[in-house]
Every structure is written in C-alpha cells, then in structure tokens.
C-alpha cells in the first residue's frame, strides 16, 4: 500500500508551548465514584504523551475533561489552544455518509464553504492513505480503514492538540502497528501535541515522547517515563534491547500501580 | 490545514491486511447471486402452494357445501372476477371507490407522518416536553375510535374530512412512537462528536438525529400506511355521506347480498393494503437501504 508522508508544517509554532495543563485535577462522579485524584499533567507542543493504566482507572475521563466533554470536580484543566482534534475509541463515522462526506463533517459543522471543506477533506484523505475509497460507505470499510477515515476527519481541523481515546484498541496487531507508524509520521509532519490513551504498553513506548502510568481507581499518576528514542521513530527500535527494557519498566510500574508487586 | 504540497510517497511493503478490503467485496457479491436465485424460488413457492390450497377449498365449499341459493356467502372465484371486477357497472363503482379510499388514506397518512414526526421531534428536545406529551400519544392509541365517532360527526360532519381524521388518528401513534425511538437511539459517540464541535441543536437535529432516525421513521411509515388504509375503510362505514369509498361500497354490497361484488371490493381493499405496505417498504429500502439493513 502507498502511504503518503506529509511535508513538515510550514508554520512552525514555538516549541515548548503548553497546550494542555492539568493541575490537581479530580473527578468525582455523582454516584460518589472517584475517577481521578490529584492529576498533574502538562502536554507541550512537540510532545506525544501516552497514558497507560488498568481498565476503569479514569484514562478516558482524563481525555473527556481535556476535550471539554466533562468538567473536573476540582483542580484546573487549561488548554493552550482551541484547535483540538478528538479521535474516539470507535470511528464514529456517520453510516449514511461516504468517506468524503464523513471527513468533511467537522469543517461543515464549522460552517466552512463547500469548496474549502472539499479541499481539506481531499488533503486529509490523501494523508491517511484512503485514496480510492472516497465514495465508500463506512460499512464497506475494514476496522482499520474506518479509523483512518476518523483520523482524516479530525485532521481537517488542523488541530494543535490531538486527543486519542484508545483509537486502535479494537484492531488486529498488524493493522495497529501500521497505524502507529502512520500516526507518528503525521505527528512529526504536523507538529501537533498528542495525548494518547492506550492499554498497550508497547504501543505507548513505541509512539510517545513521554509515557504516563496511572494507578487503578481512583486514577492517579504513579510514574512518568521520558522516551529517549529519536523521532521520527524507526520501526526497528521495537527489536532493540533498550526498547524492551523500557517496556519492561513501564509494565512494572503499571503492575505496581495496580496493586501487584 | 498545513500545506502538503511537498508530499513524498512512500511505498510500504509490509502486509496489506487492512488496507485493501476491495477483494472481499466482489467475493461477497459472486456468492450472493446464485443464492438470491435459489431463495427467490424458495420465497414464492410456499405461499403460492398455500394459495392454490385455499382456492381449492374455496371451490369445494362453494360447489359442494353451499346450497346454490346461499352461494352469495362464498361465490365461485370466476363469478367474482366476471361479476365483481369485469362487469362495467361494478368496475366503475370499484374504481371510483378505490380512488376515494386512496385519497382519504394517503391524505390521512401524510398528515399523520408530518404530525407524528413533528410531535416526536418536540418530545426529543426536552424530557419535560416528552413527559408532558407522550401520555396523550398513548391515550390517542388507546381510545376506541368508535367511541369518538359521534363527536367527530358533530364537529366535522359525516363526509370526507371526518374520514381523513379517522385515518390520522389510527395512523398517528406508530409515527410518533417510532420517530421518538429513532431520535432517542442516536449513538452516544456521534452526539459527542457534534457536541465537541459546538454544533447547535438544530444542526444536530438536521445532520445527525433525523438521518439516524430515518430507518425507524420509515419502519413507522410502513406500519402507519397499513393502518391508514384500515382507517379509510372504517371511516367510510361511519361517515357515509359524500362520494363512496371502498368501505361504503362494502356495506352497500353486503346489505344487497351482492356476494360477487362484495368479494371483489374486499379483495381490492386487501390488495390496496398490501400494495401500500410494499410501497412503503420499497421507499424505506430506497431511502436507507444503502447503509441500513431495512427489511
């Protein structure tokens, strides 16, 4: 298959610009469940931060607060931009719209002209490698292609902060690795900041510049790892001892945070 | 969006597991074609056999069970065709009545569709509106129309508009109920997608909720269409003034013991009901069949 690697963004914004700043964020649901407690997290431009943690530890809640879908019970969650992309766990494509119409949706909701959104959709479809499938309805696409379409839809907003809620969780291993590589390419080309939620430690270490490990409920950050590997990532780092060692360390922290020793 | 004019194209030579689903598509099509032929025969043969059995029993009863002077209770099929359908007098009466019934039922249905969808949209906008209005939809469904006949007669007379009103009342509930169900079954992820973009209530309704509710709306339309035909026939029998519809014709023929014409009219009414049901099924498949399995 042909993957298009985009050219680096022409307008490079200042590095180290804080795009997401969580300070002592706490989330208590109406039924009294404490989902998050004392979460401090900063995501800067050029960073790809991945959050790993056991099921139900509040990872998704973290993302929902960042996006504004939920409001933190305590603490502050500040955003440095209003250009936010959000990729859901499911592709959430509208089944009655074909790929192009789905990709155009967000620009359409923002009231952009038909011509503008058509140009943006075409670019985004090129970027995610869905050329030739523009007229396909979602039901004719594989899981991976649906996710690509979903990614393309968010790309039309040209987000500065990209939030990913376990987007590749339901995909098979090969598709997932392939999409990991393509997302890294996009990250390097588009210069956005990423906050990525996943269950998979190897995916987290492979993709991110920083891995944040959360404990079981109530979700707290137990450890943060800087990932030293250079970007753009060489897919072969997956087979290096350094990578394996870091995956081991993160897994260890995850088990500790989950009550295993 | 950032410029991507200097794109480089990289050919990825790893496995193409998810990137090319197209080969699956023709495979599915070629498998389904011969299956469709087989199932067509399987679909039509059993009901055809049942039909032949029914006609056989019909002849038996008509010829050997009924006295000739009582044959109007179940006339011979060929008599129904000749005297009920082909005879010019009967044929003309049938066409005029059918036309009237089509007008009454389809007008009633159209009003029920518009009213039902608007009613459901109103209820979907706020829980308090739903709580306020839904009980009346249920009451409307539960009132025996017969109980309201005198009142409808008093208020709207005994002609065309009262018949239409009966159609509307009978056909309204499935429209309200199905549309509301469709509007409320919108995927949570889709709603959040729209909420994240700050989409207005009306935009969300037009671009998300209504399209998502279309399968349910069309399913409701099909049920309501059948009921509207029933409503037109029933309405005819209560409100007999004005141009006769099939319902009036049925009661006229039955009071005159014209069995052949009576059967022809009943068959016409039944066929009209079937056609309407089929037509709205077809409309539903045309409208949403591409993305929804509308059966």
**Per-block average pLDDT, block size 10, for chain B (295 residues)?**
36 38 36 56 90 94 89 91 94 95 96 96 94 91 86 91 93 95 95 94 96 96 94 90 90 92 95 93 92 86
* Percent of chain A residues topping a pLDDT of 70: 93
Residue of B nearest to A175 (CA): B18
User: From the CA of A118, how many Å to the nearest CA of chain B?
Assistant: 12
Does B2 contact A90 at a Cβ distance shorter than 8 Å? no
User: From the CA of B198, how many Å to the nearest CA of chain A?
Assistant: 8
For the stretch B50-82, what's the b/e string if a residue is b when 16 or more beta carbons lie within 10 angstroms of its beta carbon? eeeeeeeeeeeebeeeeeeeebbebbbeebbbe
Strands laid side by side in the A74-79 sheet: A34-44, A18-28, A74-79
pLDDT for B209 equals 96
Size of interface A-B (CB pairs under 8 A): 122
Does B189 contact A92 at a Cβ distance shorter than 8 Å? yes
Collect all residues of chain A within an 8 Å Cβ-Cβ radius of residue B198. Answer: 109
Residue A169 binned pLDDT confidence (cut-offs 50, 70, 90): confident
DSSP state of B221: H
Residue A8 has pLDDT above 80, yes or no: no
Q: What is the pLDDT of residues A18-70, one digit of tens each?
A: 899 999 999 998 998 888 888 999 999 889 999 998 887 888 899 999 998 99
Nearest to B18 among A89, A95, A144 (CB): A144
Does B196 contact A86 at a Cβ distance shorter than 8 Å? yes
The domain segmentation of chain A, as residue ranges, is 18-83+159-257
pLDDT for B280 equals 93
pLDDT for A232 equals 80
Collect all residues of chain B within an 8 Å Cβ-Cβ radius of residue A144. Answer: 17-19
Collect all residues of chain A within an 8 Å Cβ-Cβ radius of residue B197. Answer: 106, 109-110
List Cα–Cα distances, B143 to B139, B148, B164, B230, in angstroms: 6, 8, 17, 16
| Residues of chain B in Cβ contact (below 8 Å) with chain A | 1-12, 14-21, 25, 187, 189-190, 192-199, 203, 207-208, 211-212, 214, 288, 290-292
**Which residues, at least 6 apart from A184, have a Cβ–Cβ distance to it below 8 Å?**
A48, A207, A231, A232, A233
Nearest to B196 among A67, A89, A175 (CB): A67
Residue of A nearest to B293 (CA): A139
Collect all residues of chain B within an 8 Å Cβ-Cβ radius of residue A88. Answer: 189, 192-193
pLDDT for B272 equals 95
Does B17 contact A3 at a Cβ distance shorter than 8 Å? no
- Residue A97 in tokens: 């719209």
**Which residues, at least 6 apart from B83, have a Cβ–Cβ distance to it below 8 Å?**
B75, B90, B260, B261, B264
Q: Which domains does chain B have, with CATH numbers?
A: 78-183+217-288 (1.10.3720.10)
pLDDT for B112 equals 97
**Mutation for testing the B interface, residue in A93, A96, A126, A179 having most B CBs under 10 Å:** A96
Does B290 contact A123 at a Cβ distance shorter than 8 Å? no
Residue of B nearest to A109 (CA): B199
ipTM: 0.87
Q: What is the pLDDT of residues A101-133, one digit of tens each?
A: 999 999 999 999 999 999 999 999 998 889 999
User: From the CA of A145, how many Å to the nearest CA of chain B?
Assistant: 7
Do the beta carbons of residue B117 and residue B210 sit within 8 Å? no
- 3 state DSSP class of A245: helix
CATH number of A18-83+159-257: 3.40.50.300
Residue of A nearest to B215 (CA): A96
């Amino acid at each position: 298959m042909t993957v298009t690697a985009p050219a680096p963004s022409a307008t490079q914004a200042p590095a180290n610009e804080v795009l997401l700043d969580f300070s002592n964020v706490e989330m208590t649901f109406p039924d009294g469940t404490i989902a998050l407690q004392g979460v401090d997290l900063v995501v800067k431009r050029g960073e790809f931060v991945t959050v790993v943690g056991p099921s139900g530890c509040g990872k998704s809640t973290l993302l929902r607060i960042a996006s504004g879908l939920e409001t933190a019970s305590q603490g502050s969650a500040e955003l440095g931009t209003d250009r936010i992309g959000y990729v859901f766990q499911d592709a959430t494509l509208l089944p009655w719209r074909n790929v192009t119409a789905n990709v155009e949706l967000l620009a359409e909701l923002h009231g952009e002209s038909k011509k503008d959104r058509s140009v943006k959709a075409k670019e985004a479809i090129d970027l995610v490698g869905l050329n030739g499938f523009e007229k396909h309805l979602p039901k004719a696409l594989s899981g991976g292609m649906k996710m690509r379409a979903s990614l393309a839809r968010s790309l039309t907003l040209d987000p500065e902060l990209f939030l990913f809620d376990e987007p590749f969780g339901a995909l098979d291993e090969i598709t997932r690795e392939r999409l990991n590589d393509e997302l890294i390419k996009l990250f390097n080309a588009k210069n956005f900041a990423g906050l990525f939620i996943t269950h998979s430690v190897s995916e987290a270490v492979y993709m991110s510049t920083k891995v944040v490990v959360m404990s079981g409920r109530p979700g707290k950050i137990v450890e943060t790892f800087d990932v030293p590997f250079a970007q753009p990532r060489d897919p072969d780092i997956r087979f290096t001892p350094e990578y394996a060692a870091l995956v081991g360390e993160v897994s260890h922290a995850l088990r500790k945070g989950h009550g295993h020793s | 969006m950032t410029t991507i004019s200097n794109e480089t194209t990289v050919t990825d030579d790893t496995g193409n597991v998810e990137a090319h689903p197209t080969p699956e598509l023709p495979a599915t099509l070629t498998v389904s074609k011969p299956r469709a032929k087989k199932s067509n025969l399987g679909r039509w043969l059993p009901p055809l056999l049942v039909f032949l059995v029914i006609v056989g029993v019909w002849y038996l009863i008509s010829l050997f069970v009924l006295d000739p002077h009582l044959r109007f209770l179940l006339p011979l099929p060929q008599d129904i065709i000749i005297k009920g359908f082909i005879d010019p007098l009967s044929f003309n009466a049938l066409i005029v009545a059918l036309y009237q019934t089509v007008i009454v039922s389809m007008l009633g249905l159209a009003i029920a569709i518009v009213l039902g969808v608007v009613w459901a949209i109103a209820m979907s906008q706020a829980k308090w509106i739903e709580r306020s209005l839904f009980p009346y939809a249920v009451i409307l469904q539960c009132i025996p129309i017969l109980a309201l006949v005198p009142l409808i007669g008093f208020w709207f007379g005994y002609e065309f508009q009262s018949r239409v009103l009966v159609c509307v009342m009978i056909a309204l509930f499935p429209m309200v109920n199905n549309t509301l169900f469709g509007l409320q079954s919108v995927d949570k992820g889709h709603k959040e997608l729209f909420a994240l973009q700050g989409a207005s209530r009306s935009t969300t309704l037009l671009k998300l909720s209504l399209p998502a509710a279309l399968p349910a709306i069309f399913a409701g339309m099909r049920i309501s269409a059948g009921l509207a035909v029933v409503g037109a026939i029933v309405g005819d029998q209560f409100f007999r003034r004005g141009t006769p519809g099939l319902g009036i014709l049925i009661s006229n023929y039955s009071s005159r013991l014209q069995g052949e014409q009576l059967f022809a009219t009943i068959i016409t009414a039944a066929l009209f009901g079937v056609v309407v049901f089929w037509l709205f099924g077809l409309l539903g498949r045309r409208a949403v069949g591409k993305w929804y399995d509308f059966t």
